[in-house]
Amino acid sequence: MNKLMYLIVFYLVFVSIKSQAQDTLNTCNDWFGQKNYAKIVVLLDDYVKYHQQDTTALELCGDAYYEMNLFGNAAQRYTETLLLTKGKQRIFKKRALCYYYAKEYKSARYEWEDVCRMLPDDKTNWYYLGLTYQQIGLYQNGINALSKAINIDSIFVLAIQARGNLYLKTQQYHLALGDIDSSLKITQYNEQQFINRGLALIGLRRFKEAEKIYERIIQRNEKNVHAWFGLGNVYQLSHSYAKAIDAFDVCVALRPDFELAYFKRGLSKLEINQQDRGCADLQEALSLGYTEALIYLKKFCGR
């Protein structure tokens, strides 16, 4: 066979392989639209063994794993893609999401920091960086990152809510209240944000306002255990211990394993000289895992 014939045969084989590869990717794209993610990963995991340089297949396989919440597998495919295609920013972002949702927060932190440097005008990058900082306890860093997201989009409600949560965690109650009120202007009624508003008001010792907030929530949803717990805290801090006990009673009725409710109710009972009942509640809180109750058991109950 002469050289020309070799070239023709090689070309025909190459075209056939390329056509088969394209058919495989087209099939996977169709399945992706149908949400048949398991079929995609089975096919592509086998396919990429023989087509290790096919970045389209690697990325698509990663996307399918991501949709199946198999974030470690997805991150691996994205890493393989990045080794072959330097600087594809969208792949870095996809891998950062995988690290975050896989709760690999240390890896997620450095990945999101890189993504934010590459794509500084994308609000979602700063948002996820802020959430990641929160998960590793870097609250002020989280506030700074979320502030950048909000600077890009002043009505980015998820970022506003997240920053409000961090202000609560850092006891910056005035700032927390500002973010919570801003988010409520956008969402109108949001039960969790009203719960947080009550927490901010308690932090500011505006107990009457907090009481009204929790009563409003309970009127809408009488089974909201966090509203009852908040109301109990308001009464306890206002020295209305009998009312506090009633509110904590509802808490433990709604959620029998609510260790903090037992603890708070126990303290309220001790305040009105219900020694045995108070100590029993503290013991229950300890049994449920609230170790701080041990300090009060030793101090007030001789245990």
Q: Which residues of 23-54 are buried (b: 16+ CB within 10 A; e: fewer)?
A: ebbeebeebbeeebbeebbebbeebbeebeeb
Structure tokens at 294: 């041990």
Q: 93 and 123 share a domain?
A: no
Rg (the chain; Cα; Å): 28
CA 217/CA 227 separation, integer angstroms: 7
| Domain CATH for 243 | 1.25.40.10
Determine the pLDDT at residue 14: 35
Determine the pLDDT at residue 70: 96
Please provide residue 204's backbone torsions phi and psi, each rounded to the nearest 5 degrees. Answer: -90, 0
In a domain, 35, yes or no: yes
In a domain, 168, yes or no: yes
State pLDDT tens for residues 266-297. 999 999 999 999 999 999 999 999 999 999 99
Q: Is the pLDDT of residue 23 over 90?
A: no
Q: 67 and 142 share a domain?
A: no
Q: Is the pLDDT of residue 4 over 50?
A: no
Q: 195 and 225 share a domain?
A: no
Domain stop point among 65, 83, 102: 102
pLDDT band at 87 (very low <50, low <70, confident <90, very high): low
Tell me, what DSSP letter sits at residue 65? Answer: H
Q: 60 and 124 share a domain?
A: no
Q: 125 and 199 share a domain?
A: yes
Which position has the higher pLDDT, 55 or 282? 282
In a domain, 255, yes or no: yes
CA 222/CA 250 separation, integer angstroms: 10
Which position has the higher pLDDT, 219 or 189? 219
Q: 239 and 193 share a domain?
A: no
Q: 158 and 227 share a domain?
A: no
Write down the residue that tokens 């805290």 correspond to.
233
First to last CA, the chain: 96
Q: Report the pLDDT averaged over residues 29-36.
A: 87
CA 136/CA 169 separation, integer angstroms: 13
In a domain, 169, yes or no: yes
In a domain, 21, yes or no: no
In a domain, 93, yes or no: yes
The total domain count for the chain is 3
Mean pLDDT value across the chain: 91
Determine the pLDDT at residue 20: 60
Name the nearest CA neighbour of 62 among 49, 75, 43.
Answer: 75
Name the nearest CA neighbour of 141 among 114, 170, 107, 117.
Answer: 170
Q: Would you say 142 and 130 are in contact if contact means Cβ atoms under 8 Å apart?
A: yes
Structure tokens at 128: 């996820």
pLDDT band at 16 (very low <50, low <70, confident <90, very high): very low
Determine the pLDDT at residue 212: 97
Q: 301 and 233 share a domain?
A: yes
State pLDDT tens for residues 104-149. 999 999 999 999 999 999 999 999 999 999 999 999 999 999 999 9
| Cα–chain center distance at 232 | 27
Q: For residue 52, what are the domain limits? A: 29-102
CA 243/CA 248 separation, integer angstroms: 9
In a domain, 245, yes or no: yes
State pLDDT tens for residues 155-171. 999 999 999 999 999 99
By percentage, how much of the chain surpasses pLDDT 70? 93
Q: Would you say 218 and 224 are in contact if contact means Cβ atoms under 8 Å apart?
A: yes
In a domain, 23, yes or no: no
